[in-house]
């Protein structure tokens, strides 16, 4: 059996409400992890009957909220100067976080105001870091939780619909699952390399300026 088929089978067998919650908490925090490989597959399992759509939505949205709250309170606790210094460290770059990414999220927050914590949840390049400027600005926690919940829920619904209806086309998808997993893996590696190179070059430029 192909290694990707083995990985896929193991992943699907261990995808439950708790693992969905943990993975979505990671995805919504400062650790780069795509929700696109969590919610659609969870919805697939809901379509086949081993999970429920209500449970998938509850666990995925709860995880997204938890990760967002972690980022929010870390930003409140650390403050802007220390947060930006951390963004310049090698460890932050390994997590694909740099000063430019934090600045982009903060500018987005300033431009769109409090609703950016709603809109930003639907923007892939912003969604994982939008909680940081919300924390830096000490946005009221009630409004932050409301907008974050709405944005996360809508995003998860979109992904869940994709996974749920993909199950109906499984006879066309499963024969090519190896190639699909190869493509997903390749795209993820390319994305990691691209982000890593960008962070490395940014660090080199910053050092040369100092």
| Predicted confidence (pLDDT) per residue in 136-179, tens digit | 888 899 999 999 999 999 999 999 999 888 877 766 666 666 66
Cβ atoms of residues 1 and 43 within 8 Å? no
Q: Taking the model in full, what pTM does it have?
A: 0.77
The answer to whether residues 2 and 29 touch, using CB atoms and an 8 Å cutoff, is no
CB 8: neighbour CB atoms within 10 A? 18
CA–CA separation, 148 and 65 (whole Å) = 7
Q: Are 72 and 134 in contact (CB under 8 A)?
A: yes
Tell me the pLDDT tens digit for each residue of 30-73. Answer: 776 788 889 999 999 999 888 999 999 999 999 999 999 998 99
Residue 15 Ramachandran class (φ > 0 left, ψ -120 to 50 alpha, else beta): beta
Token reading at 114: 């409090």
Local structure of residue 1 (DSSP, 8 states): -
| Residues 103-147 pLDDT 10s | 778 887 878 788 888 888 887 767 778 888 888 888 899 999 999
Any residues with CB less than 8 A from the CB of 9 and at least 6 apart, and which?
none
3 state SS of 51: coil
């Amino acid at each position: 059996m192909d290694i990707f088929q083995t990985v896929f089978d193991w992943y699907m067998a261990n995808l439950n409400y708790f693992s969905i919650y943990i993975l979505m908490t990671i995805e919504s925090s400062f650790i780069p992890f795509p929700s696109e490989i969590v919610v659609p597959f969870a919805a697939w399992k809901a379509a086949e009957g081993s999970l429920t759509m209500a449970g998938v939505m509850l666990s995925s949205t709860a995880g997204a909220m938890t990760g967002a709250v972690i980022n929010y309170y870390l930003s409140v606790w650390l403050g802007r100067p220390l947060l930006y210094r951390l963004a310049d460290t090698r460890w932050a770059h390994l997590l694909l976080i740099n000063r430019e990414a934090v600045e982009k999220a903060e500018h987005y927050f300033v431009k769109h105001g409090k609703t950016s914590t709603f809109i930003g949840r639907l923007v892939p390049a912003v969604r994982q870091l939008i909680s940081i400027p919300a924390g830096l600005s000490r946005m009221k926690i009630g409004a932050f939780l409301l907008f974050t919940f709405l944005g996360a829920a809508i995003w998860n619904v979109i992904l869940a619909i994709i996974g749920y209806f993909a199950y109906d086309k499984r006879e066309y998808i499963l024969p090519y699952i190896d190639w699909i997993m190869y493509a997903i893996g390749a795209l993820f590696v390319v994305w990691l390399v691209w982000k890593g190179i960008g962070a490395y070059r940014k660090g080199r430029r910053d050092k040369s300026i100092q």
